[in-house]
Structure 1
């Protein structure tokens, strides 16, 4: 045993753990969950886990882009409620699911770009802008719905519900959509000029400006893409629930997205991290919620746990940077 330990290249182990910390954390959490419940590691359970993580996971992809760029969006939960509520009106009026999806994508992108323009042209900190729009978006949809729910019409409901409830070869549609969106955003961030510029802006905004990067354009695009992804999430949430309650829809989605990004190993200070980390981060966050339920922890303490996770992760990142 001692000879085996000596043969291990601990420097490479450390490098692997640093590069793929999200994967190491995922495997460790999966082992822990399996110890608690031996039936946890099953195809049915893992596909359900993906299903439950998918909608928030898509929002997490957008939040990842913003955090890598050194920004944040606190309005995504309220944006989901606003887009989802109005999209039900579009669906009930037109009876066309494709028009509803198009509305969600375009309206989400417009609201996202509005946040971006307020940050870049208004020279207001992202935290302040999105804190304000978080309140504004929620107020608008609550007022439009008079506090009541937005219900999908009964004649449209069965087929529309199958978008979220259906599956392909036993794999839930939502899980497939989440996986495909992850690949698209991962390629965008790793293989395109936009992605390289996002990392540059998040690493050192001033240096990025001096290098000729249009920082304001990159920031606005980051917010626009986040809004677009949030619009898609709103569409899928509406299909899953078929009824949107304005005061509650999307509540705390922003905290979940930030926690998933942190768990996924993306630096909260910007400039570092990979989209794959956010994918696993979203799944791990859902696993943690499941473990808390199994441990019979009161559900109203979930926020406390997520808050602790974010703080603990940031402290670990700071320690790693100091090392």
Structure 2
């Protein structure tokens, strides 16, 4: 449509209604402007203002990189018509496992075997990723072979993984080696950018996977029409299983980032609400809850919107117990305004 002939409003409405990536980008742009205005301009120079603005954004991106990685995996899960409520508990389980492996005290597994330093870190990362893969496999098998609905399967896994982890980690004191902290805290110049880099690299890989691979096309086919996908030769159960395996690996990456950032993990509260933020990021970014449609780049935008929401709520001094309520209202309003689904 030619937007120069007085039809800009019509063009904009059509793009907003039919282009989830466009509407999400506009919403993110508006929120960035609001956040910039809230931060203010009371600085002695432009350089000082820009330095403060950049620091604020780096903190936002770094603090939300783990959830952003999980949201990317949640996009694939929702695209198949499923859901994963167990991501927070999987994060706790894999995080606890990494701490047990790396513990430099008498209870440390690798230290007890005489393995320390970089080799211990490499082995730990490999084993944590393997555990995430196995936990994702258990969930996927319960859904594909056990025919348990995804909501029930992941709800049960959510309770099992966290409660078992809390039971075995009671009174367990860990000391994480300083070398491991560099996995997420290594400085590039004056900034700790590694979590952001991990998020960006994974986003690119999954974007390529969704657009350029047979697996990506199969995910869309399964979510769009499972019966038709099966008749066309797609192994539906295998696709779903692989998606949950991938989800488990991505959550384990997020747990590695979290443990290496802070050197510990609160097994009672870590990861709580992560599933809601991940689902919200995917849906705000254009992923259909009914399956068959999703955008990796849209999920990145959606995660940034959620991250800016959290930051604005802090800046506005919203009481902690009300922040989730405000965030929930904003997410619902954003989804309604974007009109992701056409209403006939």
- Is this a same-fold pair by TM over 0.5? yes
CA deviation string 1:31-70 (max 9, x = no partner):
1111222358732222222111101111111111101111
Q: Structure 1 residues 20 and 273 mapped into 2: Cα distance closer, same or farther (>3 Å)?
A: farther
Corresponding residue number in structure 2 for 1:67: 78
Q: State the distance in 1 between where 2:192 and 2:286 align.
A: 27
Q: What is the deviation of 1:318?
A: 6.0
SS of 1:322 mapped into structure 2: coil
For residues 31 and 246 of structure 1, do their structure 2 counterparts lie closer, same or farther at Cα, with a shift above 3 Å needed?
Answer: same
Q: Look up the match of 1:213.
A: 234
TM-score between the two structures when normalised by the length of structure 1: 0.91
Please state whether the residue corresponding to 1:321 is helix, strand or coil: coil
1:313 Cα deviation from its structure 2 partner: 4.7
Query: Which structure would you say has the larger Rg?
Result: 2
**Where does residue 151 of structure 1 map in the other structure?**
174
Contact 2:210–2:217 (Cα < 8 Å) also in 1: yes
Query: Offset at 1:9?
Result: 4.2
CA shift at 1:129, angstroms?
Answer: 0.3
C-alpha change, 1:16 and 1:319, in structure 2 (3 Å) is closer
Superposition TM-score, scaled by structure 2 size: 0.86
Does the 8 A contact of 1:238 with 1:244 survive in 2? yes
C-alpha change, 1:319 and 1:72, in structure 2 (3 Å) is: closer
What does 1:1-323 correspond to in 2, within 5 Å? 6-17=5-16, 18=19, 19-38=21-40, 42-92=53-103, 93-94=109-110, 95=116, 96-146=120-170, 148=171, 151-153=174-176, 156=177, 158-169=178-189, 170=191, 172-316=193-337, 320-323=341-344
Shift of 1:164: 1.6
Q: CA deviation at 1:149?
A: 5.8
Work out the CA distance in 1 between the residues paired with 2:59 and 2:224.
37
User: 44-53 vs 283-292, which deviates more?
Assistant: 44-53
Q: Check conservation: 2:23, 2:338, Cα contact below 8 A.
A: no
**Following the alignment from structure 1 to structure 2, what is the Cα–Cα distance between the partners of residues 316 and 14?**
11
Distance 1:322 1:43, change over 3 A: same
Structure 1 residue 243: deviation in Å?
Answer: 1.1
How much has 1:228 moved relative to structure 2? 0.5
Runs (5+) with no aligned partner, structure 1: none
The secondary structure found in structure 2 opposite 1:36 is helix
Secondary structure at the counterpart of residue 154 of structure 2: helix
Q: Distance in 1 between matches of 2:304 and 2:133?
A: 25
Asked whether the 8 Å contact 2:24–2:284 carries over to 1, the reply is: yes
